[in-house]
Structure formats: C-alpha cells, structure tokens
Structure 1
Amino acid sequence: MSDIAAPHSGDLMDRVYRYQRHIYDLTRKYYLLGRDHLIASLNPPERGHVLEIGCGTGRNLIAAARAYPRARFYGLDISSEMLATARANIERAGLSDRITLARGDAAAFDPAAIFGRVSFDRVFFSYSLSMVPPWRTALECAAAALAPGGRLHVVDFGQQERLPRVFRAMLFVWLKSFHVTPRPDLFQALCDIAEAEGGAVRTAPLYRGYAWYGEIRAL
C-alpha cells in the first residue's frame, strides 16, 4: 500500500475527524445505510481496478477487497487524519498489497499523477458527496476517470421522502453540525452527466428515501 501526498488542504476535515475517526465505523454502521448494497453492486471485472473517492477509514475498501479478491483497489481522501486510520485498518486486515491510498481533492485530482492510472473500471462515492461543496464537479471528475464500459456508483443521504417530516427536519439539522448536506438534485446531476458522456443511468431510493443510490454506466 502506498500513501501519496497531495497539495490540497484538508484542514476542515482533519478537525472534524481528528477524534471521531477512532469511533467512526462503530457509530456510522447504524445510519450509513446502503453501503453494502453499493459494494455488492460493484462486481468489477477480473483483475479490475476500483477507486473509492472519499475513502475515510478504509471500511468500504476492505469490505470490497474481500468481496472481490481478484481486483485492485484505490482510495482517495482529503483528510490526512482519516487516511492514517485507513492505513492502519488496511494493514491490520492484511490488504496492504491490494489497496493504494492517496491524499487528494475529490473535485480536483489527477489519477495518473497520484495512482499511476488514467482510468478505473469502477469508481464509487459512499456518503462522501454530501461533504464535498463542489460535489457536481467531483461527480464529473469521477465520470472522467471511468474506463470504457466502467461504472460510477453513488450512495448517500436521500431526501427522506417517505419518512416523517419531523424525522427529516431533525436529521438534516444534526447532519449540518457535521458539515453534511444531502443533495436534493443528486439524481438529476447523475442523469445530466450520463447524457453528456453518452452513458446510461440508474437511480433508486433506498429505505423509504433515507438513502439514495445511483449508477452511471459508461459506454
């Protein structure tokens, strides 16, 4: 596993997660719903290359690497604090030879420069777009990093459209305290990118709209 520095500042995310990272996976498993659904949907090709943007503690990369033992994985995050935890978790899992980490900005990264690869068979975001201010730009960068026939997968907070309004209001206030903003036009953005790139899109609300899942298939 290599850990390649990037020139982007992740000071805010480092402050947010400096202490949370130690209990992140223990607490988030109760409300970051749909992550395993995304991992099960990846199904990369034999010896494929998979990139997670906003990899956090490495939880998803470890789960995906175990599910697809013939694939190679890469993780990008802007927080050096999160990457330190991810590095330790990946080493503990014995997957350092199959997972490469790099520090970088989801909305401005050069995969060839930091990973030595121009494109990936699968790229995914798992509850990270809601923390990226220029999230549409991040989606466009991810789509641009897809190999021909590749797929972009996204799971994040939905609009709670089939859940009680009071629950939605309380959840959004709580998420805001962690600099998390659910994207109400996420599905439309995926459709716009797919149309511009000539790809196909699939979207679906999960858990009564608690989470949203989307997928772009490049041609």
Structure 2
Amino acid sequence: MTDDARSLMDRMYRPQRHIYDLTRKHYLLGRDQLIDRLNPPGGGAVLEIGCGTGRNLIRAARLYPKARFYGVDISAVMLDEAKASISRNKVATSIVLAQGDAANFDPGALFGQPRFERIFISYALSMIPAWRETIAHALDLLEPNGSLHIVDFGDQADLPSWFRQLLAKWLELFHVRPRAELESEFAGQARARGLAHKHEALYRGYAFLDVAAFAGDGGSGRGA
C-alpha cells in the first residue's frame, strides 16, 4: 500500500463520504445483480475488494445470513464510514473490515481467512492503477469451489457518443478511468487458471458483469 494512494483516496472521500451512496446509486449500475447472484454456500467466506462505505456488504449480509463477510479498502476514511453504516444496520457480527492494498493484501494476516468461496469487486478496478494485479490476486485467493464476480464500466458501444464523452469527463473528476480491456484481461486470467468465464453486457454496454468460476460452481443464484 503506497502512502500516496492512501492519501489520495482519503482526501477525495473525506468531503463526500456521507453522500457517496446516495449519489452513486444513479450510475453504479449492476451492483445489485452481482450481489443477488453470489449464492455463497452456508458458512462460506465472501470478500469484497474495494468495499468503500460497506453498502454492498450490508446488502449481501442480509441476503445470505449464513455466510461470513469480509471487506478490504485502501481508504481509512471510507472504512470508518463503512463501520458506522454496518453498526447502524445491525450486521456488525457478520462483517469484518480491514485496510489494505487491493493488489497485494494478505487476508490471512488481516482476517485469519486465507481463501474465499466468493470474491467480488464492484466499480473499483476503474480506480485502481494496479488493476491487472488486483484481478490476479483475487483469482489466487479463491477456494477450489470459488468464484470471482466483477461489475464495472463497459465500453458503452451501443450508447450515443455524446453520452460516452460526458460520462468520461464526469468520471475523471473522481479519478475513475474505465479500462477498455478489463473484460478481456479478466477472461484471459481466468482461463489461464482453468476457470470458466462468463461475460454479460448491461444497459447497452454501460456496464458489464462477469464471473470466473471453477467447474461446477457459478455463483449464479440465491442461496445460503
């Protein structure tokens, strides 16, 4: 974890952390679809990389009360907000949070949990400079029956050019840079490890929702 990256995220989120969830719900599309399809096994460990305010973990903990949840984020400011929100929503016993760099954190040291049945990353890779390394790290933390779920900005190929340009300028204000090759990179890394990869474009390419899973496990329904 670099001090520069941590400081940048803390400076950016400190003035907006209290309104983050309210403002982002209008354009971080596909998050709920991802959570609704996680389907962790009972007692399974679920990790969110780049957990932010804890919004996704709270929803997941309510949906899958038999699973165990973990969240890691580089920003201490966002983790403070997540802890407060988790406490308000009375799911504190289900979720453990820790500060760490998405590309190289040690979950055994942070959580006492070295591997996970489900890992998900929601609109974080477009903010992480080492996003390729983050995908690789997440894949290497999966249990043999595990799956990695990613939702992020797509290519918007079927949307008007003016919309794409306006969105790019808006996202740049928040240091968000959609990765044009993210989907292909994820697919390549997954298949190199013998995992099946499934790609789904959402809202005319506005976003994509992809899953990499070991044979026989797709995390594609509701359970636990």
Aligned match of 2:79 in 52, 76, 83? 83
| Structure 1 partner of 2:57 | 61
**Shift in Å, 1:191:** 1.4
From 30, 35, 39, the equivalent of 1:34 is: 30
Q: Measure how far apart 1:141 and its partner are.
A: 0.4
TM-score by length of 2: 0.93
Aligned 8 A contact 1:159 1:210 in 2 = yes
Write the distance in 1 (CA, Å) between the matches of 2:106 and 2:214: 19
Give TM-score scaled by structure 1 length. Answer: 0.95
Amino acid at match of 2:160: P
Q: Work out the number of aligned pairs and report it.
A: 213
Q: Which has the higher contact order (CA 8 A, sep 6+)?
A: 2
- Offset of 1:117 from its aligned partner? 1.0
Cross-structure match for 2:222? none
Q: Report the AA paired with residue 206 of structure 1.
A: L
| 1:150 aligned onto 2:146 | yes
Counterpart residue identity of residue 194, structure 1: A
Match of 1:210 in 2: 206
Per the alignment, in what secondary structure is the counterpart of residue 187 of structure 1?
helix
Residue of structure 2 in register with 1:164 after alignment? 160
Shift of 1:195: 1.7
Aligned residue for 1:113, secondary structure, equals: helix
Partner SS, residue 91 of structure 1: helix
Runs of 4+ in 1 over 3 A off after TM superposition: none
Partner of 1:4: none
Whether the 8 Å CA contact 1:8–1:78 is kept in 2: the answer is: no
AA in 2 matched with 1:186: L
Q: CA deviation at 1:218?
A: 2.6
Q: Secondary structure at the match of 1:21?
A: coil
| 2:135 is equivalent to residue 131 of structure 1 | no
* C-alpha separation in 2, matches of 1:34 and 1:110: 28
Deviations 1:120-164 (A, max 9, x none): 000000011100001000000000110001000000111111100
Structure 1: runs of 5 or more not aligned: 1-6
**Inter-partner Cα distance in structure 2 for 1:157 and 1:99:** 27
Q: Which residue of 2 aligns with 1:3?
A: none
What is the rounded CA distance, in whole Å, between the counterparts of 1:28 and 1:122 in structure 2? 24
**Paired amino acid for 2:99:** R
Partners of 1:195 and 1:43 in 2: CA distance: 22
Q: Output the aligned Cα RMSD.
A: 0.9
Q: Unaligned 5+ residue runs, structure 2?
A: 216-224
SS of match in other structure, 2:72: strand
Distance 2:44 2:88 in 1: 23
Deviation for aligned residue 1:192: 1.1
